Amino acid sequence: MPAIINKIFRVAVISNLDNHFHRTIATGLSKQSGEFSDNPFFKVAMLNLDFTEASVRDRLQWCVQQRIDFIIVVGTFFSAVVHRLMPSIGHIPYIFLGVRDPMALGLVDNLENPMTGVTGVIRQAPDPLHIARCLALLQPHVSAVLLPYYPKGACGQLSEQALKIEQYFATRGITTTLWPVNSVEELKKGFEAQMAKADTLLFLEGCMVSCYLQDAARFCWEQDKIFCYGESSDAIRFGAACAYGSKFGPFITAAIKIVNDYFNPH
């Protein structure tokens, strides 16, 4: 029989709650903990961070001060920064969640036998041209695509995917405006001007521009433009015309299992 755990452990989730993927993971973990759980042995503190190293450092220091027992780090950006800063902050057990290539980030040295105390849930990279092939079916309604993306996203894989999509669209007579943006603020400032020359907007899976999901969907709806969101089908509820990407439920289930195994070893 499993051991009875009397202590309620404190688990912090490091994420950006404006990001659809991050918010869904954080709220999903929260709902499966505490009073919502059949076996409440941990409670979740959802921490909302900016995509900056200073924000991560402040929150890690807060976790140390508050004696957080465990940290779940969502996404590539936060995982890389936490991994780099944790030794200087004071170690708290943590896992990364939703990273495409943990070896490229230096989070682990081997997927089969990772370093002691390091684990996570990998986000399998999608077929880079899947969404391009789908959108090409919508010609002539899709003829000029705006593709904003974070150049360093997913260990540089977003840049590679954006270039492949541009090349594929060119063979189909579709023009593509690749727009590398380094922050959501940069996206907001130039968004309307960039969209003036496009009939379709495409957000890639795993990109921080997804923080602009609802505003982008509203704009496209008002301007009769097509918005394709590359994160999950949930985006349809927020106004995206079409969507693709990972299902989020398995990430939450896997994270809960890791936390349970850590606090309740067999």
Q: What mean pLDDT is predicted for residues 35-51?
A: 79
**Per-residue pLDDT at 7 exceeds 80:** no
Cβ–Cβ under 8 Å, residues 224 and 1: no
CA dist., res. 64 & res. 98, Å (int): 24
In this structure, which topology does domain 130-243 adopt according to CATH? Rossmann fold (3.40.50)
CA dist., res. 175 & res. 198, Å (int): 9
CA dist., res. 172 & res. 164, Å (int): 13
Asked if omega into 140 is within 30° of 0 (cis), the reply is yes
**Per-residue pLDDT at 39 exceeds 70:** no
Cβ–Cβ under 8 Å, residues 126 and 137: no
What's the CATH class of domain 9-124+247-263?
alpha beta
Question: For residue range 215-232, what is the model confidence (pLDDT) as tens digits?
Answer: 999 999 999 999 998 777
Question: Phi and psi at residue 243, in whole multiples of 5°?
Answer: -150, 160
Confidence (pLDDT) at 35: 54
> Residue 56's closest CA among 109, 21, 29, 94?
94
> Residue 81's closest CA among 106, 98, 47, 64?
106
The domain ranges of the chain are 9-124+247-263, 130-243
Confidence (pLDDT) at 2: 47
All residues at 6 or more sequence positions from 58 whose CB lies less than 8 Å from its CB, including other chains: none
Q: Who has greater pLDDT, 127 or 55? A: 55
CA atoms lying within 13 Å on the CB side of residue 197: 11
Q: What mean pLDDT is predicted for residues 198-207?
A: 92
Confidence (pLDDT) at 118: 64
Confidence (pLDDT) at 1: 39
Q: Who has greater pLDDT, 174 or 234? A: 174
Confidence (pLDDT) at 47: 96
Q: Who has greater pLDDT, 109 or 138? A: 138
Question: Across the chain, what does the average pLDDT equal?
Answer: 86
Q: What mean pLDDT is predicted for residues 159-175?
A: 96
